[in-house]
Each structure stands twice: as C-alpha cells, then as structure tokens.
Amino acid sequence: MRPIVGITACSETIAGVDSQCVGDKYTRSIAVAADCVPVLIPALGVELDLRSLLKRLDGVLVTGSDTGVHPRHYGGDASRQTPDGLDPSRDATTLPLLRMAVETGVPVLAICRGHQELNVALGGTLHQFVHEVPDHRDHREDMSVPKKERYEPVHTVHFAPNGFLATLLGCEYIEVNSLHWQGIDRLAPLLVADAWADDGLIEATRLTDAPGFGVSVQWHPEWRAEENPHSLALFRAFAKACQQRAADGRCWASSA
C-alpha cells in the first residue's frame, strides 16, 4: 500500500462557483515523483475535523498559492494585501493543520506559501513585501513571460553546511525559481534555516526537536519534479518519511 499524502487546497471562485483548487503539478509530484497517493485537503477551516483527518494521513504537502497569508497572523500591516488577495479559509485550515502535524509527527513538506505558513504557524513572522526590504532582491515572478517560463531557475540558494539539503543533494548550492512576494522574516523557534538566497532571505527550513519529518522550501520543486534530480531527491526523502509512518501503523493515533 502506498502512503496517503494530503495536499492543501485553496478556496477560489471559478465561473461564479465556490471551489476547492489544487494545481496539477502538486498532485502529480506526489503521485509520480513521491510515488504516494494524493488526496485533497479542502480549505474549510473549523468545518474540517483536522485531527481525525491527520489520523488517516501518512504525510502532508502544503502547497504554494497566488494568495498571501493574512497579515493579522504575523503582525503585518492589515491595510495592505498581496496583488492576488487573501484566502482566510486556507489560513484557517493550514495554520492549525501544520501545528497539529508537527505535534503528532506527521511528515510535512511545505512549498512557497506553505513555507511561509509553516513559519507563521509555529510563531515566526514574514516580510510582507520582500522587494521593499532594503538589500533584498525582487523575488516576484516575471509577469512579462508565459506562466510556464516563470518556473525556470533565476537565482542561487546556498545550503547550510552539513544541513538536510546539503546532505541530501550532495552539493553546496543549486539554482532555483522564484515566484513570491512574501518571505520569512523572524524564524519560528522550532525551525532552523537550511538554505538562503544571495540576499540573505531564508529559502528553506527544517524542523528541530519534533517527532517527524518537516522541511519547507520557498521555491517550487514540484514543477516537473520527476525531471529534476534535486526535486526528485526531495520528494523521495519526503516519501520515505511517509512510508515509515505508514509502516509504523500511525501508532500515535490511539493516544492523540
């Protein structure tokens, strides 16, 4: 039996219909690169029984999104929003979901908005607009090119010596894509930085003193993950943790 991985959805209105949305690149990366079974986690907030859900999952992939985390969750300026707005239903789902997953040892891989959400969920803060921070580069996607071209590598990230990614990938740095407005400011206490951009922005984190696998990246490894050896290695490491949880029979569930 392949591990079951929950993938966080966004709340969107499409053609006037309220919808739950997950990009195909996320479901494909879990099904193909990680060889796990993807299931959608709807952004329903308090209407979703997160604890019961986590007892049935072997891992959680927290996706990217065009929307930003609401500033009230990290002390930002609530009068300003990212260009594509906010998704309070997603915030109300992913932030408690992440805290419960970390607490109970459910493996977590968090990408882009998910990278930021993990930090906020555990008590960290964000730069609301990274390009306005002195000495920081503009990390936003190039809107002048087709969407697919925006996922091409545009800058370097350097790994922490002997850190998780350096050890996993066997190198000191890689080239990554960049499609985000916000980024980590103050790091949450349970996280350590595992990679940085040249401007000092934290591009990857990992959990410390937690019972399960927890890694976040600011870039998008899910984009054609099966074609990129670095992305493939990351998804396989996540899958290995999910497989271990499945093999252990989710032994914590009866006491959670």
- Point out the residues that are catalytic: 112, 220, 222
CB-based contact 157:196 (threshold 8 Å): yes
Burial of 149 (0-12, 13-18, 19+ CB in 10 A): exposed
Burial of 93 (0-12, 13-18, 19+ CB in 10 A): buried
Q: Residue 21: in which H helix or E strand, if any? A: strand 17-21
**If phi over 0 gives left and psi between -120 and 50 gives alpha, with beta otherwise, what is residue 168?**
alpha
Q: Can you tell me the distance from the alpha carbon of 198 to that of 194, in angstroms, rounded to the nearest whole number? A: 13
Straight-line distance from the first to the last Cα atom of the chain, in angstroms, rounded to the nearest whole number: 24
DSSP 146: -
Residue among 104, 99, 201, 190 at smallest CA distance from 157:
201
Q: Whose structure tokens read 């990274």?
A: 130
CB-side neighbour CA atoms (13 Å) of 203: 26
